[in-house]
Structure 1
Amino acid sequence: MSGVEIGIGQRPRTPTQIAVKLLWTGVWLAYLSAPVSDLLHGGHSDGVRVLGVVGLVAFVAWYFTLIFRTGRGETNGLVFGSLAVLAAQSSVLALTLGREWLVLFVYVSVASGAALPSRYARPTVPAVCVLMTVVALSVREGDEYLASLLLPSLLAGFSMIGVRALIRTTIELREARATVAQLAANEERLRLARDLHDLLGHSLSLITLKSELAGRMLPDHPERAAEQVADIENVSRQALADVREAVTGYRRPRLPGELAGARVALSAAGITVRLPEEPDLTEVASETESALAWALREAVTNVVRHSGAHRCVVELVRRQTLEGPVLELSVEDDGGGADGGPGTGLTGMRERLEKVGGTLETGGARPGFRLVARVPLNQGAVGSRA
């Protein structure tokens, strides 16, 4: 259908569009029956008839030139010049041949509304009607035709303005819909990239640690090595399930589960860990808890992979700030601290927190590194967690 659809005032580009627009425009030429009838039965001399035919053909040819040659929104000299020529032809033919030719001004009004931008068409259409009124009052019995042509001329011109505005709005809505779809696709790709980074980074780090432990235990303690291998299998299965959930958009980690996972990962890395008791998650929306859980997972993964720490403290407390109550998660280690600017993990963590109105602070501790994530408490979120 896209090859057939044409907008008012839009230049046709394919043979099909040209044929459709020619047919649509040609239908309205039926209203030229009054001038044609006047040429055939108006009692004019042969010379006048020839001049009338030439004038009518020239008018129609110029009218089609205007409709087909102007593009949507153009305001160049061709449009204004063509309208001026049409108005001049209408005036000369009506003044010389009679009142039947006043109908040509309706076409001038329609062409003004169809070809000109709204800011120019709104004053041009009434100006064409004023010109038609002046010519009609100068033609014998022209005032009798004026009453039947003035209102149609105004309505036809302003209808074209309205149709063009409607088409322009429709085009803008289509473009906006396409933009929204593209933004949604980009957001989904970004979400998937963040989820996979955090999921696989955490799981693969834990698998690597347990594999190293199993390798060291294997010669002297095969039973304990077998336990580590079983843990590796469990972690791998859970990672696979998490990846599937992330791909389908259903992955929503919970804080209690991530706290338990943090204990396992840090202990496997030989890091002494202190974790909070069972967290109080009343007044915490599910999306807010999910963002905080992702932050905890990424922070623990960074401690295990990059810090070289011996001790890690995780705290989860409620605080009252000037902006209102917040839930604060802090992860502090005694390792080597940050080794550069924020990477993909910290960037994704900050983006997740910002989406729920939270903040992220990172900085050095003495010694080590400290990460603080804060999310607002939602007073109406108790019911939303059901």
Structure 2
Amino acid sequence: METPAEGDDPNPMRMGQAPRNRRQAASKTMWTALWLLYLADPVRQLVQPGVSAVARTWGSGGLALFVSAYLVLVFRHMWRNLTRPLMYGVLALLLALSVALSWTLGYAWLVLFIFTSVASGVVLPWQHSRWAIPLTTGFLLVVGARYPEIRSYYLFAYGLPALGCGFMMVGVQHLIHTTLELRAARQEVARLAANDERLRLARDLHDLLGHSLSLITLKSELAGRMLPDRPEDAARQVADIEQVSRQALVDVREAVTGYRRPRLAVELAGARAALRTAGVTAAVAPAVEADHHGLASDQEGALAWALREAVTNVVRHSGASRCELLLTEEGEADERRYLCLAVLDDGAGPPRTRQDGNGLSGLRERLALADGRLETGPGPRGRGFALRAYVPLGRTGPPAAGTLREETGTHPAGHPT
């Protein structure tokens, strides 16, 4: 699957991650600074007529110090780990400024407690933030109680937001840490899978070539000793070497073919990703996801190629908004049982020329090698395009198609190759 471009990044805010370039750093800075708009009430109070020079100086200096400390705390936490003295020292400064400014300058400054609570939820571990956030809210309630004009509503206007926003940020931080752990776990699983594949390849090569190469070495040494005096016996050993080497070459080719053979489950995962990226709703029957134990490897490989080619056509040429993937077992007139993979879309439909492109022609050949066949034509009710690939079953295959499960994407653009 292709790596998404920067503009298609599913996590454009890089939550829980340090920015990788200046653009991302600017985006994160703007997002953080946006919340400072909630300080509009304290700023408005400072610029009102009648405010004393002392109050204006004290308020301006205290607010500037508060905002600077808040941004330093948040951005240091964003880019690198904070030391404990710095973290608790800055939080104590924020709490002290919240108390002092709101106590001396008016209830509009109670909003500072909300920022202090949010900062506590962002930078503190849960064991500490679960106490720091209620403590900050308690200070807010004590200071707010000295203003009679807001006693009827300050609990809802300031207290609950301080408590709720603080614990909401605790949840966000937990989600970020969980996401980072899942990302690390996914990378570890991919690394282990690659390591297992290397081990399997090494084991298979050892099993395939170890005996043959050992036998070739022994016969080569034996032929070398026979060559001066017994040329006929040496020639027989050389003939044996040729036979063993040819068989080893056949075994290696079969092994490589097995590694390259597509699997239906793997192609289904790729088809889902391709349809989702193209904005096409995928309706997948449960039978498509089942274990296909009734299929030989050649038949499964042919169906996997058919699924890949059909989905490629849907994504590139059909202009469809919906694609159905069905897998059914069908009987034929010759009493043989066939497994039918059907890919149906609601797009532009087959071209009027009715000529297959290289993709469908190659697919017909692959299916023919697996004793199967390919059928193409208009979709159900004459709309869209339908591709049906048939391969014979050695025994009972997977269950019938059953109920479709839709997977919705968001939508491209105009078929068969």
Q: Does 1:141 align with 2:149?
A: yes
Correspondence for 2:62: 55
Counterpart for residue 159 of structure 1 = 168
Residues 148-189 of structure 1, C-alpha deviation per residue, up to 9 Å, x if partnerless? 122221221111111111111111111111122222222222
**d(CA) in 2 for partners of 1:209, 1:12:** 61
Q: What is the alpha-carbon distance in structure 1 between the residues aligned to residue 183 and residue 235 of structure 2? A: 60
Report how far residue 241 of structure 1 moved. Answer: 2.5
What's the counterpart of residue 177 of structure 1?
186
Shift of 1:142: 3.8
1:94 paired residue among 94, 102, 113? 102
Which amino acid is 1:36 matched to?
A: V
Partner residue, 1:39: 46
Name the structure 2 match of 1:129: 137
Return the letter of the residue paired with 2:177.
R
Larger deviation: 77-86 or 49-58?
49-58
Query: Which whole-Å CA distance do the structure 2 matches of 1:57 and 1:220 have between them?
Result: 101
Post-superposition shift, 1:218? 10
Structure 2: 5+ residue runs without aligned partners?
1-5, 261-395, 397-417
SS, match of residue 44 in structure 1: coil
Once the two structures are TM-superposed, the CA of residue 206 in structure 1 deviates from its matched residue by 2.5
Amino acid at match of 1:24: W
TM-score (norm 2): 0.53
**Could you say if the C-alpha distance between residues 161 and 57 of structure 1 is closer, same or farther in structure 2, counting changes exceeding 3 Å?**
same
Q: What's the offset of the Cα at 1:201?
A: 2.4
> Is the alpha carbon distance of 1:150 and 1:248 closer, same or farther for their aligned partners in structure 2, counting shifts above 3 Å?
farther
Relative to the length of structure 1, the TM-score reads 0.57
Structure 1 segment 1-386 matched on structure 2, within 5 A: 1=6, 6-8=14-16, 15-41=22-48, 43-70=50-77, 74=82, 76-143=84-151, 144-211=153-220, 216=226, 222=232, 229-247=238-256
Paired AA for residue 69 in structure 1: R
* Change in CA separation of 1:11 and 1:77 when aligned onto 2, cut-off 3 Å: farther
User: Cα distance, 1:211 vs. partner?
Assistant: 4.7
Per-residue CA deviations over 1:130-161 (Å, capped at 9, x if unaligned) read 11111111234242333212222122111111
Offset at residue 250 of structure 1 (A): 5.1
In structure 1, how many angstroms separate the alpha carbons of the residues matched to 2:150 and 2:83? 33
Q: CA RMSD, aligned part only?
A: 3.5
Q: Is the 8 A contact 1:11 1:68 kept in 2?
A: no
Q: Aligned partners of 1:82, 1:220: CA distance in 2, in Å?
A: 93
Deviation at 1:92, TM superposition (A): 0.8
**CA-CA distance at 1:103 after TM superposition:** 0.7
Q: Is the 8 A contact 1:12 1:68 kept in 2?
A: no
Inter-partner Cα distance in structure 2 for 1:35 and 1:177: 47
Amino acid at match of 1:92: A
Q: How high is the sequence identity, in percent, across the aligned residues?
A: 54
- Contact persistence 2:76–2:82 (CA under 8 A): no
Instruction: With a CA cutoff of 8 Å and minimum separation of 6, indicate the structure with the bigger relative contact order.
Output: 2
Instruction: Please tell me whether the aligned partners of residues 109 and 156 of structure 1 are also in contact (alpha carbons under 8 angstroms).
Output: yes
Q: Is the 8 A contact 2:113 2:137 kept in 1?
A: yes
Q: Give the CA deviation at 1:104.
A: 0.8
